[in-house]
Amino acid sequence: VQLQASGGGLVQAGDSLRLSCAASGRIFSRSHMAWFRQAQGKEREFVAAISRGGGTTDYADSVKGRFTISKVNAENTVYLQTTSLKPQDTARYYCAADWSILTAPLYRNQNEYEYWGQGTLVTVSS
């Protein structure tokens, strides 16, 4: 699976962005997907995850209520809709895939994800 993230940019606090992650390969529909982010000088952190069928989601407390993850298997694409952006949301955002069985849980641990995209940079100015 190859993942290509896009949609980042420079925005002001309070703005919105929709990040996209397009996947190639046949296992997308059988993969849980997640977004992580890494700010400069900090460790990569979990942002959101969605189950392979799209029916279950999980969010970090820092983004809950502001970000929405969605997955369109027909498009081989996972989205992260971000709203009410804050300067502390500034980071490079990475999408990741966990090829999993139907009953597998969603993970927040990045080590559970086998495939990674190259990331897209989001910069939020105050």
Residue 102, number of CB atoms within 10 A of its CB: 8
Enter the DSSP assignment of 105.
Answer: P
Residues in the chain predicted with pLDDT less than 50, given as ranges, are none
- For tokens 């086998």, the residue is 114
pLDDT of residue 96: 97
Can you point out the beta strands (E) in 7-76? 9-12, 17-24, 31-38, 45-50, 57-59, 67-72
